[in-house]
Amino acid sequence: MAERNSLRVNRPSVVDETIDGEALIVNLGTGVYYSIAGTGEVIWRMLAEGLTPAAVASNLHQLFDVAPQDASNAVAVFVDQLIAEELLVSVIDAGPSGATSFSGAGPGDSAPGPFVLPELKRYADMQDLLLLDPVHDVDEKGWPNARSAPLLGTERRD
């Protein structure tokens, strides 16, 4: 993977929540949802905070006591998956990024278990339902957009 200087979560199309060490992510544009736990959840949080893949790998090396090359390779493969699923997008002309350390890994924090290659679990079983939901069409402030055409069977007949 070529080094990506800056990435960001593909908002507003992508929403996420971390619960008990598991990141639950929904791509509202595709109707697919994802689950990431363990090492993958830690990587996701770092990327969401604006760390570059190189900074993420450096932090993983310190958090998990994993070899720098192994951390770098794991992050590269995982980032490629996240980009392919349209969960992350490249930031164009963002300038230098100041984020290099992970705020969720302060002094006294312990690693969230052993280092395991990150796994992005993908689910499309509710895709049709998620794509039917008109609330997922939101503006920049998070407000739902009105439908441009009336729902079938709701047209007014005079």
pLDDT of 1-37, one tens digit each?
444 568 999 999 999 999 999 999 999 989 999 999 9
Tens-place pLDDT, residues 39-96: 999 999 999 999 999 999 999 999 998 999 999 999 999 999 999 999 999 987 555 5
Contact 72/60 with Cβ under 8 angstroms? Answer: no
Contact 123/34 with Cβ under 8 angstroms? Answer: yes
Give the pTM.
Answer: 0.73
Q: Could you say which DSSP state residue 88 is in?
A: E
Amino acid identity of residue 104, one-letter, is: G
